[in-house]
Structure 1
């Protein structure tokens, strides 16, 4: 594990006290409206986006195809400001984790996971999490607020700049983004939707819509709204094959039980594009949800849905009360799924030596939810 200095890339840090519009908060439509309001032509939006997202320029004076009067005006009323890097750590397996300051004594984390065929960035959408899944370190940290658009896309923007600094040839840039970090994305739709539009916009991050994935614990009404708003991939944090067990592991299930959740998944797939599938995330908890009967229940739950099941070894954290399933149990579970025709992947744990593995992101959260009171009581699955 290595730790990097934290003095690089702090755009906007010398700005004065005048409140400015952060252009990273605006998708293409919003930026076009911004320029029209200034009395400018809408195409100024595309010009500025190219400078910001393609060239990483934050100083309006460097945007030479824009008139000097407009550059001066933008310097007065606008800024390009991403979250400030507090810390950057490298895992022995190549995973990298950033800690970003976002004000108010709060910080968030995001993780870069390089692989042979993709370079994935796992980003956060909330400060903490508004849900209380019992096996998740982020849930234990509590909840403070939703992130803004600039705080969401700023993680990608800063990660790309950091990676480019270390790899000037560009072979380590971000190719895939998953909204699986801190927070429940669908409880922050106001910021998440424009952020997603920026990720797949050719003038911004230009990611393939199939390479941008939103993970949800099952906020059913918002799943439908997301499908209508933007075309990206979907992952569902399932973790249990029946309502009784899922009520304990993912308490949101009490509001949106499995029959509602699975119906929403089928609606997501209902446009006739059989290339689509849904990824189901399933954290493997020793003796809790990893028995053969759970695997058979999961097969029945999924039926003939185009789906992939991602079996995730539980990543322990202090006070969790859970243990990771054995490798034997995980492989047995995967075999049952595969033998019944379900595509199943047993994921490798990445970045656990720097607490960057799935479920370990916590950052620093000034908790307004008083979540600690709920977790102070013994919960299902806790063991000595």
Structure 2
């Protein structure tokens, strides 16, 4: 009996000591006796897609929105693409630009802008897709003719801004983590606007394809792997185009998408304007003007005089819409013959 009592007293004493230590530990924590681990701030929120959401509207001459991966993944289009841009040209571009294969990009946006008081234009290029920031930074430094300025604008994710000079033109390059690169040639303001859109700083501004000039054109055009936009006004000789309809248009847009084997291409042309009660007659004028274009030397060069599906035109109060299906290989041959020198220059940048 005495042994049992002694054992109970021992257990009670040990329990009391454990409780005492726990109480002291809790008190120390409450009083700041132990330093808590620092809380890591959340990553900087970035808006990076679609790529053209980073392109400003002011001063825009034209803008091209492409989803290259969606095009390259269509086997029937591989010969057509190769006719316009051969494999070796893609390879040389990747070698000079940090390993970027434009065919594997998820989203590509290229925009041309008027440069105030100068004959030259400025260009903004945005590639959304897997990138290697270290290789891109190295390639930019090797191509720059002066010392490259390097600025870190975000640590998480890492956003780096590079500035240098290539071929006598000022260039900016922005690397947004491992998923997007922004390049501007000419005006630094373009790059800073794109960067501000990415960081969500331009609350009152709209990007090019969401603004008043092109927003309606983008809506009517719909989604397509290739889209091209031209904001108005169209004046002078340009305004005389398409039977004078361009003069009354506030925006023009066109798109292309795969229409079936072997290389059918569905195309859509949209003219935005206040057509109102004149919409039906304007649609007839557009159909006549397109016929003239397709039978011209340029139209025959692109194979437009022999469409797979003849053009059809419909009209609303604010848009003229033309749809047709053309031979993609004939178009590719025409583009190669007409634009090969320009494509070579663009890919060499």
TM range (shorter): under 0.3
Q: Which has the higher helix share?
A: 2
> With CA pairs under 8 Å and 6+ residues apart, which has the higher RCO, 1 or 2?
1
Q: Which has the higher strand share?
A: 2
TM-score (norm. length: structure 1)? 0.24
**Of the two, which has the highest radius of gyration?**
2
TM-score (norm. length: structure 2)? 0.26
